[in-house]
Amino acid sequence: MKPTETPKTYRVKSFGCQMNVYDGERMAEMLAEKGIAPAPEGEDADLVVLNTCHIRERAAEKIYSDIGRLTKGKTQTKPPMIAVAGCVAQAEGEEIMKRAPAVSMVVGPQAYHRLPEMLDRAVQGERATDTDMPPIAKFDALPRRRKSAPTAFLTVQEGCDKFCTYCVVPYTRGAEISRPFVDLIAEAQSLVEAGAREITLLGQNVNAWSGEDDKGRAIGLAGLIRALAPIDGLERLRYTTSHPADMDDALIAAHGEIEILMPYLHLPVQSGNDRVLRAMNRSHTAESYLKLLERFRAARPDIALSGDFIVGFPGETEAEFKDTLSIVDEVRYAQAYSFKYSPRPGTPAATMEGQIAMEVMDERLQRLQARLNRDQHAFNAATEGKTCTVLVERKGKHPGQWLGKSPWLQSVWFEGEAAIGDLVEVEVVEGGPNSLAGRLLVAAPA
Ligand code: SAH
Ligand code: SF4
Ligand code: F3S
């Protein structure tokens, strides 16, 4: 590659999960430290970071088409310098370098703290790949947080040792690690100082977080939540995503005791059939999962439940799929994500016998989603006439309209006197399929 000028503007495009959103923000902060500014909406960026996801379908193919559009002037008038980050970078870094000469940098999810240095080399005309996996080193090398939105993500745990047979995450994100307690308290404090009122603790297996508090006591996620809760100015805490195998009594109890821990639990089950769950290498059964949910409901009766589902796992019969429908009927999720099984290269399930035809998966997904939508709508409708506290996140389309979140993570629209970051009381007028319409009652004192 030819040497070029140092980019003046950047754009980070993040795909996939919230960890990628967090990583994207951290990369943006590093670029800002280097004096590179975010490209204004609709304008060309000198540097584009594609922060990719590898979880399903032709995610990698999408990256090549994005790169093609950038270099051919379809996305912006002038082709930018391109960096590929995220889980596709980790899984297929060398392949990307070979196939896409327009890419200057390939950087994995555990190595992006080296992005500024790679950028210096790219400016000299060198192409660089870094897919090392020293996760804690990354966090230590990142600049201080200065994000100023009312809601913020905070990665507390990364990686996965569960090896569900369909999943790429253990390969792209590496082994489970927990960030140190003191670092997390410090990062949460700087997020709140910068304006965050809600923090969502993130991890591929966030409830596997473990560490030692400032007095040297061994604690789990519940202990971390208890230590974060008193931070002055922090109004809401959430965490995602949990694995049933790592759930402990302390976390369940925390839902009944810590006021700012929101009544919401995302706990993927994937399937309602025990044979399929075993083949997936999930360590729970349908029954053990349901028992766990019962305990959460006992601790926090109004808790909103959310989950992930995969239909068409290799060998899944119609009867086995119906067990998934049954568990949905039993749980009545407030919200959920459902996917068609996608064979991921290098995972055990990709070469299992009994791969399911696409038409069958399409049809099963439709049936499943019909029930999940029914339950989500019912959950929303059940809040009609009730009052809830809404954290205002942004302006709506119409003048005077605002969008915020309820404690149960529902989107709430309302009109009136408010500002981003306010916690306001809203009466729910209508509970629709995807959001709530509300009437502003009184603005809480700031
Ligand atoms: N660590 C989290 C998130 C994993 S990825 C967890 O265990 O819940 C998010 C979701 O993507 C998973 O819960 C699963 O439902 C889905 N998923 C993962 N791999 C998949 C695959 N190969 N095909 C279809 N869906 C998949
Ligand atoms: Fe993937 Fe399973 Fe780990 Fe979740 S627990 S990240 S689905 S391997
Ligand atoms: Fe995707 Fe990687 Fe997250 S594969 S879902 S971006 S951990």
Specify the DSSP element, H or E, that contains 96.
Answer: helix 86-99
What 3-state class would DSSP assign to 353?
Answer: coil
Q: Are residues 194 and 326 in the same domain?
A: yes
Q: Are residues 184 and 310 in the same domain?
A: yes
Select from 87, 105, 130 the last residue of a domain. 130
Contacts of 52 (CB under 8 A, 6+ apart): 15, 16, 20, 59, 60, 63, 84, 85, 86, 87, 88, 89
Select from 130, 150, 166 the last residue of a domain. 130
Q: How remote is the CA of residue 200 from the centroid of ligand 2, in Å? A: 19
Q: Does residue 201 have its Cβ closer than 6 Å to ligand 3?
A: no
Q: Are residues 125 and 143 in the same domain?
A: no
Nearest by Cα to 375 from 410, 408, 334, 407? 334
Closest ligand 1 atom, CA of 162?
7
Would you state the pLDDT for residue 62? 86
Would you state the pLDDT for residue 169? 96
Contact, 69 vs 100, CB < 8 A? no
Ligand nearest to the CA of 337: 1
Q: Is residue 434 part of a domain?
A: yes
Cα–Cα distance, 133 to 283 (Å, whole number): 26
pLDDT tens-digit profile of 344-390? 999 999 999 999 999 999 999 999 999 999 999 999 999 999 999 99
CA 105 → CA 88, 131, 247, distances in Å? 13, 11, 39
CA 121 → CA 3, 31, 92, 116, distances in Å? 9, 14, 21, 9
Task: Name the residue with the closest Cα to ligand 1, atom 7.
Answer: 243
Q: Is residue 346 part of a domain?
A: yes
Q: Does residue 164 have its Cβ closer than 6 Å to ligand 2?
A: yes
Cα–Cα distance, 394 to 422 (Å, whole number): 10
pLDDT tens-digit profile of 224-274? 999 999 999 999 999 999 999 999 999 999 999 999 999 999 999 999 999
Q: Are residues 59 and 160 in the same domain?
A: no
Alpha carbon 155 to chain centroid distance?
10
Q: Are residues 196 and 154 in the same domain?
A: yes
Q: Exposed (0-12), middle (13-18) or buried (19+): which is 47, by Cβ within 10 Å?
A: buried
Q: Are residues 121 and 59 in the same domain?
A: yes
Q: Are residues 234 and 362 in the same domain?
A: yes
Task: Name the residue with the closest Cα to ligand 1, atom 2.
Answer: 204
Q: Are residues 295 and 437 in the same domain?
A: no
Average pLDDT of the segment spanning 176-188: 96
Expressed as residue numbers, the domain containing 78 is 9-130
Average pLDDT of the segment spanning 292-298: 98
| Helix 358-381 and helix 318-331, axial crossing angle in degrees, nearest 10 | 10
Cα–Cα distance, 278 to 120 (Å, whole number): 48
CB atoms within 10 A of CB 397: 7
Q: How remote is the CA of residue 356 from the centroid of ligand 1, in Å? A: 17
Q: Are residues 74 and 174 in the same domain?
A: no
Q: How remote is the CA of residue 302 from the centroid of ligand 3, in Å? A: 30
Contacts of 175 (CB under 8 A, 6+ apart): 159, 160, 161
User: pLDDT at residue 446 above 70?
Assistant: no
Nearest by Cα to 235 from 364, 404, 369, 38? 404
What is the percent of the chain where pLDDT is above 70?
99
Nearest by Cα to 235 from 270, 195, 282? 195
388 annotated as a binding-site residue: no
CATH code at 316? 3.80.30.20
pTM of the model: 0.95
Q: Are residues 113 and 259 in the same domain?
A: no
Q: Kindly state the tokens that stand for 69.
A: 């559009």
Residue located via tokens 């929303």: 380
Q: Exposed (0-12), middle (13-18) or buried (19+): which is 384, by Cβ within 10 Å?
A: middle
Which mutation among 55, 163, 342 tests ligand 2's pocket best, with the greatest number of atoms within 8 A of CB?
163
pLDDT tens-digit profile of 399-419? 899 999 999 999 999 999 999
What single string gives the DSSP state of each residue in 417-428? Answer: S--TT-EEEEEE
Q: Is residue 210 part of a domain?
A: yes
Would you state the pLDDT for residue 427? 97
Q: Does residue 432 have its Cβ closer than 6 Å to ligand 2?
A: no
State the distance between the two ends of the chain, measured CA to CA, in whole angstroms.
Answer: 54
Local confidence band at 75 (pLDDT 50, 70, 90 cut-offs): confident
CATH code at 399? 2.40.50.140
Q: How remote is the CA of residue 243 from the centroid of ligand 1, in Å? A: 11
Select from 90, 110, 130 the last residue of a domain. 130
User: pLDDT at residue 445 above 60?
Assistant: no
Q: Is residue 13 part of a domain?
A: yes
Q: How remote is the CA of residue 353 from the centroid of ligand 1, in Å? A: 20
Residue located via tokens 């099963």: 364
Ligand nearest to the CA of 89: 3
Closest ligand 2 atom, CA of 204?
6
Q: Is residue 237 part of a domain?
A: yes
Nearest by Cα to 220 from 181, 170, 172? 181
Q: Is residue 4 part of a domain?
A: no
User: pLDDT at residue 218 above 80?
Assistant: yes
164 annotated as a binding-site residue: yes
Q: Are residues 363 and 315 in the same domain?
A: yes
53 annotated as a binding-site residue: yes
Q: Does residue 86 have its Cβ closer than 6 Å to ligand 3?
A: yes
Q: Does residue 133 have its Cβ closer than 6 Å to ligand 3?
A: no
Task: Name the residue with the closest Cα to ligand 1, atom 24.
Answer: 341
- Burial state string for 148-177 with b = 16 or more CB within 10 A and e = fewer than 16: ebbbbbbbbbbbbebebbbbbbbbbbbebb
Q: Does residue 88 have its Cβ closer than 6 Å to ligand 3?
A: no
> 1-15, 219-233, 308-322, 407-421: lowest mean pLDDT where?
1-15
Q: Does residue 53 have its Cβ closer than 6 Å to ligand 3?
A: yes
Q: Does residue 172 have its Cβ closer than 6 Å to ligand 3?
A: yes
Q: Is residue 2 part of a domain?
A: no
Q: Is residue 1 part of a domain?
A: no
Closest ligand 1 atom, CA of 204?
1
Local confidence band at 2 (pLDDT 50, 70, 90 cut-offs): confident
CATH code at 53? 3.40.50.12160
Q: How remote is the CA of residue 318 from the centroid of ligand 1, in Å? A: 21
Q: Does residue 19 have its Cβ closer than 6 Å to ligand 3?
A: yes
Q: Are residues 251 and 112 in the same domain?
A: no
- CA-based torsion, 336, 337, 339, 343: positive or negative: negative
pLDDT tens-digit profile of 15-36? 999 999 999 999 999 999 999 9
Nearest by Cα to 341 from 317, 371, 362, 369? 362
pLDDT tens-digit profile of 119-157? 999 999 999 899 988 767 788 888 888 777 999 999 999
Q: How remote is the CA of residue 431 from the centroid of ligand 3, in Å? A: 31
Would you state the pLDDT for residue 443? 52
Look at the chain and report how many structural domains it folds into.
Answer: 3
CA 221 → CA 208, 209, 227, 240, 248, distances in Å? 7, 5, 10, 11, 9
